[in-house]
């Protein structure tokens, strides 16, 4: 049996400490990729698991795994059967919940399911939650339906959106990574209860202090050069075609700049053919990544699929002004004309205009850099993750309240 406890949560909305008296959360987290390939979604999930365990909350992760984890993950991971995804073999698709996994779940005794993707694993977990009368919540990390347009499958996007709506409407709460993304989910009828689970940044790690002229010089970059950086997976849905088109426009207009690409992926060879003069630094982690950000001058993120944009926030914390698409995540992070610029999705001319303006105006660049850094300092991980724990507790309270009347009725019926 679970015993009632008092869980102190820092409620950043009230700027106070609130106590929730509830059953102790026991969280079963289902992820399509928790540790075998590094990306923004699993970095956020690992942060959450680490935070929950530090608060004494029991968590177990169910996810496909690879031969070797891409990084040291937080928490205990139970591997679920999976297959490599065609054309994207770096990712794996879970094929369901086996009896072995269900037995592990029974032994763990979760009282809340957290679904981080609407994939086969998420769907099977949602069905199991309903069968076991366990409340389920879901976090939205990526709009998978929008990916289809990058792979010649636009016709199927409307069907994928319908599936997402049916999936998320069965969850007690869904967590959007930004206010703007939350509003989109509400308008599209994805859920009646959309909460915000934002993202934080380690502003000591990602800092302007990491700028390194020697590192720049090693790549043939002088201190007078203006570096436009891209950081992320080299996959089509990150807006690579738009990025390359904009760089072509800048080159044709004789806007002096150098292009730095930090990251790797299946489209690297295509990107190298498209931008033969760019510097391809490959995948970077930890201090090397922080140094690359801070040693850049501008950050360009044309992705329209971002639901938050961890890379944008990391650039801002590093004092690097961003130029981004008017995507849901970027619109919540970037203050147009103050910390950076937002351009209409896919508008090559508008992106080029803003980048050229910043390349040519060192004073404006410096002003945006300072404002970006100050804004990034507001994104504190523990406050943000405390909100998620508070939401879990609320779900458990509501679930207990729904079950209580039925139990009372049963007791009265037996007594009579």
Whether the predicted pLDDT of 92 surpasses 60: yes
SS3 (DSSP) at 53: helix
Tokens representing 385 are: 């993750």
Distance CA 316, CA 200 (A): 12
What's the burial of 262, exposed, middle or buried (CB within 10 Å: 0-12/13-18/19+)? buried
Q: What is the pLDDT of residues 263-290, one digit of tens each?
A: 999 999 999 999 999 999 999 989 999 9
Same domain? For 10 and 131 the reply is yes
Same domain? For 365 and 389 the reply is no
Same domain? For 370 and 386 the reply is no
Mean pLDDT for 171-188 is 92
Confidence of residue 250 (pLDDT cuts 50, 70, 90): very high
Q: What is the pLDDT of residues 45-65, one digit of tens each?
A: 999 999 999 999 999 999 999
**DSSP conformational letter for 197:** -
Q: What is the pLDDT of residues 138-148, one digit of tens each?
A: 999 875 545 44
Backbone angles phi, psi at 294, to 5 degrees: -65, -25
- Domain hosting 147: range is 4-200+380-415
* pTM for this entry: 0.74
Closest CA to 83 of 101, 100, 99, 66: 66
Contact 37, 54 (CB under 8 A): no
Same domain? For 222 and 343 the reply is yes
SS3 (DSSP) at 3: coil
Beta partners for 322?
Answer: 299
CA torsion sign for 204, 206, 212, 215 is positive
Tokens representing 69 are: 């984890």
Confidence of residue 9 (pLDDT cuts 50, 70, 90): very low
Q: How far is CA 63 from the centre of its chain?
A: 17
> What was the pLDDT predicted at 20?
45
Same domain? For 213 and 195 the reply is no
Distance CA 179, CA 187 (A): 12
Confidence of residue 15 (pLDDT cuts 50, 70, 90): very low
Tokens representing 96 are: 């369901």
Same domain? For 363 and 396 the reply is no
CATH number for the domain harbouring residue 78: 3.40.50.2000
Mean pLDDT for 201-210 is 96
> What was the pLDDT predicted at 37?
87
Tokens representing 202 are: 């380690």
Strands 88-94 and 82-85: antiparallel
Q: What percent of the chain has a predicted confidence (pLDDT) above 70?
A: 88
Backbone angles phi, psi at 82, to 5 degrees: -155, 165
Number of folded domains that form the chain = 2
Whether the predicted pLDDT of 305 surpasses 50: yes
Same domain? For 248 and 177 the reply is no
Element (H, E) at 80: none
Mean pLDDT computed over every residue of the chain: 88
Backbone angles phi, psi at 175, to 5 degrees: -115, 115
Mean pLDDT for 391-407 is 83
Tokens representing 90 are: 């770096």
Q: How far is CA 257 from the centre of its chain?
A: 30
Same domain? For 152 and 236 the reply is no
Better-scored residue on pLDDT, 297 or 380: 297
Contact 116, 138 (CB under 8 A): yes
Tokens representing 103 are: 């037995």
Tokens representing 132 are: 């076991």
Distance CA 8, CA 6 (A): 6
Same domain? For 190 and 290 the reply is no
Contact 327, 350 (CB under 8 A): no
Mean pLDDT for 355-359 is 98
> What was the pLDDT predicted at 96?
87
Better-scored residue on pLDDT, 145 or 231: 231
What's the burial of 19, exposed, middle or buried (CB within 10 Å: 0-12/13-18/19+)? exposed
Whether the predicted pLDDT of 13 surpasses 70: no
Same domain? For 185 and 66 the reply is yes
Same domain? For 219 and 82 the reply is no
Distance CA 256, CA 375 (A): 28
Same domain? For 223 and 184 the reply is no
> What was the pLDDT predicted at 154?
64
> What was the pLDDT predicted at 407?
54
* 195 C-beta neighbours (distance < 10 Å), count: 17
């Amino acid at each position: 049996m679970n015993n009632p406890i008092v869980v102190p949560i820092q409620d950043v909305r009230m700027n106070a400490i609130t106590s929730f008296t509830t059953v102790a959360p026991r969280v079963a987290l289902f992820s399509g990729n928790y540790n075998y390939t590094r990306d923004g979604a699993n970095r956020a999930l690992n942060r959450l698991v680490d935070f929950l365990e530090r608060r004494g909350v029991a968590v177990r992760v169910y996810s496909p795994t690879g031969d070797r984890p891409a990084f040291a993950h937080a928490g205990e991971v139970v591997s679920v059967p999976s297959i490599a995804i065609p054309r994207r073999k770096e990712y794996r698709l879970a094929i369901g919940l086996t009896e072995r996994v269900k037995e592990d779940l029974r032994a763990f005794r979760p009282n809340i399911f957290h679904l981080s993707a609407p994939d086969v694993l998420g769907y099977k977990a949602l069905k199991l939650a309903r069968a076991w009368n366990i409340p389920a919540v879901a976090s939205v990390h990526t709009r998978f339906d929008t990916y289809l347009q990058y792979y010649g499958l636009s016709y199927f996007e409307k069907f994928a959106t319908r599936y997402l709506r049916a999936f998320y409407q069965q969850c007690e709460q869904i967590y959007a990574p930004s206010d703007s993304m939350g509003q989109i989910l509400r308008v599209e009828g994805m859920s009646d209860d959309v909460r915000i689970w934002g993202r934080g940044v380690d502003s000591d790690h990602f800092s302007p202090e990491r700028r390194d002229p020697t590192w720049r010089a090693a790549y043939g970059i002088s201190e007078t050069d203006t570096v436009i950086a891209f950081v992320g997976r080299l996959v089509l849905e990150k807006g690579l075609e738009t990025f390359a088109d904009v760089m072509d426009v800048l080159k044709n207009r004789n806007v002096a700049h150098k292009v730095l690409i930090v990251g790797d992926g299946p489209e690297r060879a295509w990107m190298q053919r498209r931008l033969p003069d760019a510097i391809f630094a490959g995948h970077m982690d930890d201090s090397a990544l922080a140094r690359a950000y801070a040693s850049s001058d501008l950050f360009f993120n044309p992705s329209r699929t971002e639901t938050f944009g961890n890379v944008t926030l990391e650039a801002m914390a590093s004092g690097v002004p961003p130029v981004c698409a008017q995507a849901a995540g970027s619109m919540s992070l970037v203050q147009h004309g103050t910390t950076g610029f937002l351009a209409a999705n896919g508008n090559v001319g508008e992106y080029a205009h803003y980048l050229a303006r910043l390349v040519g105006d060192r004073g404006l660049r410096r002003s945006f850099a300072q404002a970006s850094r100050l804004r990034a300092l507001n994104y504190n991980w523990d406050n943000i993750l405390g909100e998620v724990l508070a939401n879990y507790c609320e779900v458990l309270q509501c679930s207990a309240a729904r079950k209580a009347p039925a139990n009372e009725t049963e007791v009265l019926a037996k007594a009579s």
